[in-house]
């Protein structure tokens, strides 16, 4: 496989691919999510920098879950010994062949071993689901809720972590993501889902028409100010208006009235 073909398939930066080719690995990785999942190539990469800590005779290049767990268990002990702290989510995503996890993990290993900084494959946060792939599909071809669960939870995840509560949390997170996508589809395409407009949305909203004289700021300010009644009484008194006091006599009550 040529260098440019590898770059186009994986999307890795050129410095990382050149670095991988310079290590002279046992085999050249073609499918990153599959070739790096068992941890054999990861161990071979670190063996070039720490040959006394990683004997390759203890690692097996197999595809079974037992081989994967054995290889990654030895790598975990090596990370703890050398005080290396790779991101746990990247390790889990690489083991379970999550899309994009192995590529980002290789880039982190590159920066860890060479002390060089590179730009990640994706600028946005990676969640290791098929969300990006689903967004590219038309709505009729996107996964249902049950299909989304099967696509985003692998059998190895359930076998490694048989805890029902943790698996239930993963399933609920996938269902919530699926429901949010469906709500967004309904907002963007209401005709497809036969969504009827509410009475408030159907009502005609007429803008208020104001003449230039009515819309002047001085006039609006005058309308908004209320003059107290005490002030109006004082103004009337100064203008010479006299007020007469009317006395009303109450009728005398009969002593026999109850």
pLDDT (tens digit per residue) in 195-253: 777 777 777 777 665 555 555 555 445 544 454 444 444 444 445 555 566 666 666 65
Print the domain residue range for 152: 131-196
- For residue 85, give the 3-state DSSP assignment: coil
Residue 127, Cβ density class (10 Å: 0-12 exposed, 13-18 middle, ≥19 buried): middle
Do both 99 and 43 map to the same domain?
yes
Query: What's the predicted TM-score (pTM) here?
Result: 0.60
Which strand (E) or helix (H) includes residue 91? helix 88-95
Domain endpoint, select from 56, 84, 114: 114
Q: Which helix or strand (DSSP H or E) is residue 223 part of?
A: helix 217-224
For position 127, what pLDDT does the model report?
A: 65
Cβ burial 45-56 (10 Å sphere, 16+ → b, else e)? bbbeeeeeebee
Task: With beta carbons less than 8 A apart as the criterion, state whether 26 and 61 touch.
Answer: yes
Domain assignment of residue 251, yes or no: no
Instruction: Let me know whether 103 and 168 are in one domain.
Output: no
Residue 84 lies in a domain: yes
Q: Is residue 36 part of a domain?
A: yes
Let me know if residue 235 belongs to a domain: no
The last residue of one of the domains, among 196, 231, 252, is 196
- Nearest of 87, 122, 101 to residue 13 by alpha carbon: 122
Position 74 in a domain? yes
Closest by alpha carbon to 20, among 143, 132, 124, 103? Answer: 103
Q: What is the pLDDT of residue 252?
A: 62
Tally the domains of the chain.
2
Based on the domain organization, do 108 and 144 belong to the same domain? no
Task: Identify the helix (H) or strand (E) that includes residue 188.
Answer: helix 164-188
Verify that 94 and 135 share a domain, yes or no.
Answer: no
In the chain, which residues have pLDDT < 50? 1-8, 121-124, 219-220, 223-225, 227-238, 258
């Amino acid at each position: 496989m040529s260098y440019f073909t590898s770059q186009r398939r994986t999307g890795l930066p050129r410095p990382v691919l050149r670095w991988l080719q310079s290590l002279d690995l046992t085999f050249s990785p073609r499918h990153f999510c599959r070739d790096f999942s068992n941890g054999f190539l990861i161990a071979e990469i670190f063996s070039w920098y720490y040959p006394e800590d990683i004997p390759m005779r203890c690692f097996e290049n197999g595809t079974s879950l037992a081989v994967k767990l054995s290889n990654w268990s030895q790598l975990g002990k090596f990370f703890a010994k050398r005080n290396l702290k790779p991101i746990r989510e990247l390790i889990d995503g690489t083991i379970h062949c999550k899309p994009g996890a192995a590529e980002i993990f290789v880039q982190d290993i590159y920066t860890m071993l060479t002390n060089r900084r590179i730009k990640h494959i994706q600028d946005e946060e990676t969640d290791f689901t098929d969300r990006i792939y689903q967004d590219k599909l038309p709505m009729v071809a996107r996964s249902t809720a049950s299909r989304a669960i099967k696509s985003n939870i692998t059998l190895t995840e359930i076998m490694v972590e048989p805890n029902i509560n943790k698996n239930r949390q993963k399933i609920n997170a996938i269902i919530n993501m699926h429901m949010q996508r469906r709500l967004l589809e309904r907002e963007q395409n209401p005709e497809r889902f036969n969504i009827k407009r509410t009475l408030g949305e159907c009502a005609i909203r007429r803008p208020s028409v104001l003449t230039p004289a009515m819309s002047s700021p001085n006039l609006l300010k005058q309308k908004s100010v209320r003059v107290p009644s005490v002030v109006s009484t004082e103004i009337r008194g100064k203008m010479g208006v006299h007020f007469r006091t009317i006395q009303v006599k109450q009728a005398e009550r009969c002593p026999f009235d109850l």
